[in-house]
Amino acid sequence: MTAATVSLTVADRVATIRLDRPPMNALDTAVQDRLGELAAEVSGREDVRAVVITGGEKVFAAGADIKEMREMDQVAMVARGRDLQASFSALARIPKPVVAAVNGYALGGGCELALCADFRIAAEDARLGQPEILLGLIPGAGGTQRLARLVGPSKAKDLIFTGRQVRAEEALAMGLVDRVVPAAEVYEQAHSWAARLAAGPAIALRAAKESIDAGLEVDIDSGLAIERTWFAALFGTEDRTIGMRSFVEDGPGKANFR
């Protein structure tokens, strides 16, 4: 497996992480590790202000490489499971806006990959689900945790207990995806959404993402403390000065952040 199986390109301050392992973008260990490496890279690159994760025009990712997993015993998976979750957590913790452009199937690990994004744009023909139960397993890359936090425990249990797939419109209704568009427009709209945010105040966007994500893991008072700390810290940034000056002099929404 080569690094080319998962590529990284940057245009207009937006990084695109693209899976390219035909025919179904199965997530074997090499792909999983590469995703973690690229998450670390885009997190640290100053020329990257937002990220799109995509699998291409036909399929996002149809899940783990079952042939590879079949050869693993419990001891091997105890070790591998930690690395798998670490790679997906690295994607979820990218301190920049991340959007998943979901065409075709996003099943199992593919659905869990989409869950690592902040926003999900799906094609009209997309199908999402967590079918691990049909293999006698449960999701192992964050599905039981991120899915429940996103759509609520009852809907998460429905998908995980049954292993059923949902079409794009049902996924939209339950909050699993945020927008449904024609298949030919998925990547374009995802990149447009990311590019708009890439022009915003980078540190404030990081503060907003970390405050929301970290706040969901703690009680309300602790969450408010996280928010209060970031809110005060932003008063030391140049973008805050630019934003307030622009608001007073030119009106809202016209600031050119640096």
Active site residues: 112, 132
For 220, the token pair is 């309300």
| Cα–Cα distance measured from residue 42 to residue 221, given in angstroms and rounded to the nearest whole number | 32
In angstroms, the CA 127 to CA 170 distance is 10
Q: Which residues, listed in sequence order, are joined to residue 18 by a DSSP beta bridge?
A: 7, 54
Report the distance separating Cα 79 and Cα 82, nearest Å. 6
∠ CA 132-94-6 to the nearest 5 degrees? Answer: 60
Cβ neighbours, 10 Å, residue 174 = 18
Helix, strand or coil, per DSSP, at residue 129: strand
Q: How far apart are CA 180 and CA 49, in angstroms?
A: 24
Q: Strand 127-129 vs strand 165-167: parallel, antiparallel, or unpaired?
A: antiparallel
Which residues pair with residue 61 across a beta bridge?
106
The residue behind tokens 């927008």 is: 179
Q: What is the CA radius of gyration of the chain?
A: 19
